[in-house]
Structure 1
Amino acid sequence: MARCPVEVAKLHKSFGDLEVLKGVDLAVAKGEVVVLMGPSGSGKTTLLRCMNLLEEPDAGQVDICGCRFDCGGRQSRKRGREVQRARRRTAMVFQHFNLFPHMSALANVIEGARYTRKLSKSEAVELGERLLDRVGLAGKRDEFPSRLSGGQKQRVAIARALAMEPEVVLLDEPTSALDPELRAEVLQVIRGLADDGLTMVIVTHETKFARDLADRVVLMEHGVIVEQAEPAVFFNRPSSPRTRSFLRLVEDDPLPNPRAASRDAEEHV
Structure 2
Amino acid sequence: MMYEQRQQPLMNRADRRKINGERRNAIEEERLEVVDLSGISLKTLPNPSLNLATICELYLFNNDLQIIPESLTARMLNLVVLDVHSNQLKSLPNSIGCLSKLKVLNVSGNLIESLPRTIENCRSLEELNANFNKLSRLPDTIGFELVNLKKLSVNSNKLVFLPVSTSHLTSLKILDARLNKLRSLPEDLENLINLEVLNVSQNFQYLETLPYSIGLLISLVELDASYNQITTLPDSMGCLRKAAKAVC
Say which structure, 1 or 2, has more relative contact order (CA 8 Å, 6+ apart): 1
Query: How does the TM-score come out when normalised to structure 1?
Result: 0.28
Q: Which has the higher helix share?
A: 1
Report the structure number with the largest CA radius of gyration: 2
